[in-house]
């Protein structure tokens, strides 16, 4: 008879494996809380990729040139792919994609609050690529070393694809910034609106982030919210200068002693409002997603019916 282990001793062994940087693989034993935390995090990440297609998708038909349209299409298609990689990673933990997408549609699982802001002008497409994808890359690069193997591998693949997302946004804004006065203003306005929400993407400050300690111990999270945010600010300030655009923060400045840029306080009240469902586009995002799901149902059903008939034909033959 194989030896039986108590959950306690298994949990100890699990933590030891994590401490020695061993990745967790789907069939390994893991604490239930690790599993449920991982499912929730990967699902929210997947939902963010899928919902994230909407703000930019909004501009595909109105892109100002064929070149820009092709780029934007490719980018939005990548985001769909990212969502699918991530749902597949979540499924290795014993849930089905459909359960997760149902939870999203029912409003019982969240996605990144950034996608509840509207894309008012063409410059927003640039600001999203530069700032939102820039912040996402900062976050995702850290996650390539997360402890759950399938999630980490999805991150590696995603990061490889992301770099063009940020660059196309930067290039788009650079063109506008150096364009006519109206174009420059449009670029500046977009940056003004996206800067603070982009900083919020890293989540609440470490001091108010109750799950951080456990996630760090399990190496689900490798870098804290505040550290990631600082990384992003330090990287972005010189880029803004190169663009000839201002970041809307009067307190932004190099701190010689810290060796980092200081920045002003973030409006966490706004963050809570948007996360709580009261952002400018929350309702729209979910209803568009729900409509896409309902309108695509007949395609999925037809494909299944076709497959059923093929099976029948094969067994008859």
Partner 1 sequence: MSESDDWPLWEVFLRGRRGLAHQHVGSLHAPDPELALQNARDLYTRRGEGISIWVVRSTEVHASDPDDQGPLFDPPADKAYRHPTFYRVPEDLQL
Please give the residue ranges that form the binding site for Fe ion (CB under 5 A). 49, 79, 82, 133, 162, 165
Helices 149-177 & 225-243 angle (0-180, nearest 10): 30
Please tell me whether residue 16 binds partner 1 under the rule CB under 8 A: no
Shorter beta-carbon distance to partner 1: residue 229 or 285: 285
Question: Token digits for 21?
Answer: 């940087």
Distance CA 112, CA 281 (A): 12
β-strands 260-262, 253-255 pairing: antiparallel
Cross-strand bridge partners of residue 32: none
Asked if residue 166 lies in contact with residue 100, where contact means CB atoms within 8 angstroms, the answer is: no
Return the one option of partner 1, Fe ion, none that residue 265 interacts with (CB less than 5 to 8 A, by type): none
Please tell me whether residue 9 binds partner 1 under the rule CB under 8 A: no
Residue ranges in 81-120 that form contacts with partner 1 under rule CB under 8 A: 81, 84-85, 88, 91, 96-98, 102, 105
Residue ranges in 59-78 that form contacts with partner 1 under rule CB under 8 A: 74, 77-78
Asked if residue 47 lies in contact with residue 110, where contact means CB atoms within 8 angstroms, the answer is: yes
Return the one option of partner 1, Fe ion, none that residue 165 interacts with (CB less than 5 to 8 A, by type): Fe ion
Distance CA 207, CA 139 (A): 18
Shorter beta-carbon distance to partner 1: residue 254 or 306: 306
| Residue 238 CB burial class (10 angstroms; 0-12, 13-18, ≥19) | exposed
Shorter beta-carbon distance to partner 1: residue 211 or 310: 310
Residues of this chain that interact with partner 1 (CB under 8 A) are: 2, 25, 27-29, 74, 77-78, 81, 84-85, 88, 91, 96-98, 102, 105, 153-154, 157, 161, 293-294, 297, 300-301, 303-304, 306-307, 310
């Amino acid at each position: 008879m194989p030896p039986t282990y108590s959950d306690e001793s298994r949990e100890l062994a699990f933590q030891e494996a994590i401490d020695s940087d061993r990745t967790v693989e789907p069939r390994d034993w893991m604490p239930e809380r690790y599993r449920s935390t991982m499912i929730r995090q990967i699902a929210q990440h997947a939902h963010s990729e899928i919902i994230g297609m909407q703000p930019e998708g909004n501009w595909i038909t109105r892109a100002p040139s064929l070149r820009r349209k092709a780029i934007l299409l490719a980018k939005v298609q990548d985001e769909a792919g990212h969502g699918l990689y991530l749902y597949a990673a979540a499924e290795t933990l014993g849930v089905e994609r459909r359960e997760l997408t149902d939870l999203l549609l029912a409003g019982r699982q969240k996605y990144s609050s950034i996608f509840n802001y509207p894309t008012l002008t063409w410059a927003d497409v640039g600001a999203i690529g530069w700032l939102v994808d820039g912040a996402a890359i900062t976050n995702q690069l850290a996650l390539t070393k997360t402890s759950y193997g399938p999630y980490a591998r999805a991150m590696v693949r995603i990061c490889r694809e992301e770099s063009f997302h940020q660059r196309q946004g930067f290039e788009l804004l650079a063109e506008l910034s150096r364009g006519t006065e109206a174009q420059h203003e449009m670029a500046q306005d977009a940056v003004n609106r996206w800067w603070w929400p982009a900083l919020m993407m890293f989540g609440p400050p470490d001091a108010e982030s109750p799950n951080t300690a456990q996630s760090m111990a399990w190496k689900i999270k490798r870098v804290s919210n505040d550290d990631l945010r600082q990384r992003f600010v330090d990287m972005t300030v010189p880029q803004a200068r190169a663009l000839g655009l201002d970041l809307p923060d009067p307190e932004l400045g190099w701190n010689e002693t810290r060796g980092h840029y200081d920045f002003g306080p973030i409006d966490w009240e706004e963050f809570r409002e948007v996360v709580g469902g009261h952002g400018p586009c929350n309702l729209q995002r979910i209803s568009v997603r729900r409509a896409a799901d309902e309108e695509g149902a007949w395609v999925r059903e037809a494909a299944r019916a076709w497959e059923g008939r093929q099976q029948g034909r094969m067994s008859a033959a």
